A and B are shown apart, each in its own frame.
Chain A
Amino acid sequence: DAKTTQPNSMESNEEEPVHLPCNHSTISGTDYIHWYRQLPSQGPEYVIHGLTSNVNNRMASLAIAEDRKSSTLILHRATLRDAAVYYCILRDNYGQNFVFGPGTRLSVLP
């Protein structure tokens, strides 16, 4: 699986938007971009995924660069409950396991 690079940590104020970046310059044409998050003392949970087009769901939005070498997870209004480690992962149609990097630790300030 291709590698991803994320900042180690980010901070946001409550009720403000948060943009979490992910670089994946070696992405291949068949790689899906997945985001998961892990709240304190819980297992990771799925957030969103996409291939080429931007995606929206009830949790977040995923903005994918035109060349697909980077993407951004957007939380439109951060809440204290969004404080977590966010993982950006690439997944192709042939890969057998999901490789989790260190992720970005998001702190949300009241």
Chain B
Amino acid sequence: GAGVSQSPSNKVTEKGKDVELRCDPISGHTALYWYRQSLGQGLEFLIYFQGNSAPDKSGLPSDRFSAERTGGSVSTLTIQRTQQEDSAVYLCASSLGTGMSGANVLTFGAGSRLTVL
């Protein structure tokens, strides 16, 4: 597609429920990133995919968080047993990633705003 698409744009859920957030990167972009941004805060790195593999999961805050990417394209971030502190905007970005060039730039989606009541 023309840009990075994220869904849902807004999600309100009750504490303890599971949620899935979806990211559809730009076609041909092999690298995909998930970030979290709490209200008024900076971007917190969560996980990075190169193709279908996730060489860097260091940012996932707990084992309630997981992410997968299939077919080297769409990625899903799953939060199990949501807590109120999970409330944030979850941002996805993609880049060409080929050859790990430092010149590759990120294109971000509009984000998914998660509110846990």
Contact = CB atoms under 8 A, between A and B. Distances in A.
Interface string B77-117: 00000000000000101000001111111111111000000
Interface in A60-110: 87, 91-103
Contacts of A21: none
Determine chain A's interface SS by DSSP, over half rule.
loop
B107 A93 contact: no
Contact of B45 (A30, A36, A99): A99
A103 B42 contact: yes
Given A96-B48, A97-B45, A43 B102 contact: no
A42 to B, nearest CB: 7
Contact of A92 (B43, B55, B99, B102): B102
Nearest to B44: A100
A45 interface: yes
Given A43-B91, A46-B106, A102 B111 contact: no
Interface of A: 30-32, 34, 36, 42-46, 49, 51, 87, 91-103
Given A43-B93, A93-B99, 10 more contacts: A43-B108, A43-B111, A44-B91, A44-B108, A45-B108, A92-B102, A95-B102, A97-B45, A97-B48, A100-B45
